[in-house]
Amino acid sequence: MSSTGRSGRGGPSRPRGPYTARGLICTNCRRRKIKCDGVKPVCSQCKRSESAVCEYMEGNAQGSELQALEANLKILQARIRELEVAREIENGDDTVRLHEPYPSLSCIQDSSAHSQTNDRGVESIALPFKAATHQCSEFDVMFLPLMEIFLRYARELGFFLSVTRFQEAAILPTGSPGRPSEGLLSVISLLGYHLSGLNVDPSQEGEKAYLNRALIQVVDILPSSHPNRTVHAIQAEILLAMYFFRYARLLEGKYHLHAALSIAFAAKLHTLHSELTFSGEVTDRVTQGERINAFWMAFTLSGYWAVATDVPQNIILESLAPVIDTPWPLDMALYEQGHIQGDVANRGTITSFLEQELGPSVAGVSRMAMYAKSSMLYVRAATLAGATDADAQANDTLVAQVAVLDGLLASFKSNLPSLNDIDGFSEEFSFVYAAHLITNVAIITLNSRPKGSSTVPLPGKILSAAEESIDLVSKYMMDTLDTLATAHVNPIFAPLWLRIGQVLIDGLDQLRRSYDSRGCLLQEKEAELNAKTRRLFVYMATLPVKSLLNDQMLSNLQSLASQHLILV
């Protein structure tokens, strides 16, 4: 019978290509929704696209059979190796057997050799992705260069570990006791890729692969037996939070930041001053310092983002602060030199700071402590400002609290180091720069006009704080559109610049409605504010490392300026 006769009641139909069974379609073609010819081991589509993975699923299997077999094979190989080593020890075998200590380096070398022999025209292009053998994934190949990129911005992104120790440990062989947890390494690879400029593909498939891998491996840090699993889990969660904040994915960022803070409190890192908690758990000052700084980085960022995202702030200071007796953090270099913070009062580190008498010691000597203290002042300012808004007839107690905090902010600000004395490319600059900005915005927040009172004159203290914030970067940026002396990747800056920009635009609008016999003088002030507002817009628009959150904040400012007919 002809094929036409078999076509059934519908009569003749156009001939179709051969039907491909489920088990004969590779996972790569299925994901891309393209036709697969089922050729093994690599189908034609994967050959043309030079895909590194061409696998097949049999029947209705939900996972890759090849991956399952490879996983079982690795387990068996590891067990065989253990038995061989045990037998050699039992038999007194003194033979020294060598192994490749740096698999990622060997992958890079193999890939480089492959690229030189096969495509001399693109020797330096990122060929490790396609030239690597099945023994080395692209993640292994790219880890070292991505780690180097990440470390350029590490402190700004909340990296509190010792960089020196981390670099030494990161190149140890996989499975070595001193090697950082794989989950933390995956997050660092993700951020290195994100900051590298490699994510130029609109679909961002490469970055998504790094993100998926990081999210999968981070959850395995705490249940592992890694000796540093607590601080590594906190570090990984903080870095993931900063990654999501940069992409303006605030809910996910807050989730991971909350996870970091929860781990810190569960591990009692907030009571490291207590002898019961502290004795016997650490072996040296650097390890001790990493635990102290782990807590403070998680707590500092949690406080800041609680204000920035309009989360109730009272829980940060009123509920948690009284139970914290962990000393203020020191810069890691001081821990590496054997220093440790002195005693703190029994009533709590933060409580003592907020209630202490004013003086030169209010800011402290540690740059990271300045960063943490500025965040606590910001949270306190937002809490009191919210209470003032809720109670139009502020009681005497609230008025007194506002006055005390106002004095503390002024004292703290006056004791911060000048940015003129700090190299703009140094690690400490990012902490001091952030402390200055956060303190200025805290002053703005505390002294802001009540909501719904836009006709009330803008307090001079607010406008001065905004103008000083613009002056902070004057020596680090040019007036041209294409030159910046330094790049800041910390996502906390975007909401700060938004608030500062709102004050400048508000000030311009107020000046335009206040022309009187002093018109000439007011016009000069308007020109000055306009120039500073323009400088802020230029600064935000020309940051070398782009951030979606920064772009959104800039767009909000541009819309606000347009509404007030302000040309900048």
Mean pLDDT check: name the lowest of 126-135, 442-451, 509-518, 553-562: 126-135
Average pLDDT, the chain: 77
Q: In the predicted model, is pLDDT for residue 229 greater than 60? A: yes
Q: Is the pLDDT of residue 467 over 80?
A: yes
- Classify the C-alpha dihedral 124-125-126-131 as positive or negative: negative
Lowest-confidence region among 44-53, 245-254, 356-365, 511-520: 356-365
Q: Using the predicted structure, report yes or no on whether residue 104 has a pLDDT greater than 90.
A: no
Listed range (282-291, 308-317, 383-392, 510-519) with the worst mean pLDDT: 510-519
Which band of pLDDT confidence, cut at 50, 70 and 90, is reported for residue 9? very low
Q: Would you say residue 228 has pLDDT above 50?
A: yes
- Report which of residues 124 and 199 the model is more confident about: 199
Classify residue 260 as exposed, middle or buried by CB count within 10 Å of its CB (0-12, 13-18, 19+). buried
Q: What is the pLDDT of residue 428?
A: 83
For position 197, what pLDDT does the model report? 79
pLDDT of res. 361: 62
Please give the Cα distance from 568 to 411 (Å, whole number): 34
3-state SS, residue 243: helix
Q: Name the residue type at position 293.
A: N
With contact defined as beta carbons under 8 Å apart, do 161 and 149 qualify?
no
Cβ-proximal residues to 221 (8 Å cutoff; 6+ apart), any chain: 181, 183, 184, 229, 232, 233, 236
As a whole number, mean pLDDT of residues 490-515 equals 90
pLDDT at 294 over 90: yes
Write down the pLDDT at residue 349.
Answer: 86
Burial 217-238 (b: 16+ CB within 10 A, else e): bbeebbeeebebbbbbbbbbbb
Q: Which amino acid is at 251?
A: L
- Residue 480: its pLDDT value, please? 37
Dist. CA 453–CA 300, nearest whole Å = 31
Say how far apart CA 544 and CA 116 lie, in whole Å: 32
Residue 83: band (very low, low, confident or very high) from pLDDT cuts 50, 70, 90: low
Q: What angle (nearest 5°) sits at the alpha carbon of residue 173, between those of residues 167 and 179?
A: 50
Cβ proximity of 427 and 160 under 8 Å: no
> How large is the average pLDDT for residues 439-461?
78
Helix (H) or strand (E) holding 199: none
The pLDDT of residue 409 is above 70? yes
For residue 125, the model assigns a pLDDT of: 31
Alpha helices in 175-281 (DSSP H): 182-196, 205-218, 229-246, 250-266, 275-278
Please tell me the distance from the alpha carbon of residue 311 to that of residue 68, in angstroms, as a whole number.
44
> Phi, psi (5° rounding) for residue 555?
-60, -40
The pLDDT score that the predictor gives to residue 393 is: 63
| CA count, 13 A, side-chain hemisphere, 351 | 14
Segment 176-194 mean pLDDT: 94
pLDDT at 404: 92
Q: Which of 12-21, 74-83, 115-124, 370-379 has the highest mean pLDDT?
A: 370-379
Contact 460, 444 (CB under 8 A): no
For the chain, first and last CA: distance in Å?
80
Checking if the pLDDT of 558 tops 80, the result is: yes
Percentage of residues in the chain having pLDDT higher than 70? 67
d(CA 231, CA 278) in angstroms, rounded, equals 15
Q: Inform me whether the pLDDT recorded for 457 exceeds 50.
A: yes
Query: Which range (87-96, 336-345, 405-414) has the least confidence?
Result: 87-96
For CA atoms 557, 558, 562, 563, give the dihedral sign. negative
CA-to-CA separations, 68 to 49, 162, 214, 503, 562, in angstroms, rounded: 25, 37, 20, 59, 58
**Identity of the residue numbered 402:** V
pLDDT computed for residue 193 by the predictor? 93
CA 543 to CA 153: how far, in whole Å? 14
At residue 199, the pLDDT reads 67
The string of DSSP letters for 363-401 reads S-S-HHHHHHHHHHHHHHHHHHHHHHHH-SS--HHHHHH
Greater pLDDT, 2 or 509: 509
Average pLDDT over residues 6-24: 46
pLDDT (tens digit per residue) in 361-387: 665 678 999 999 999 999 999 999 888
Q: Is the pLDDT of residue 278 over 60?
A: no
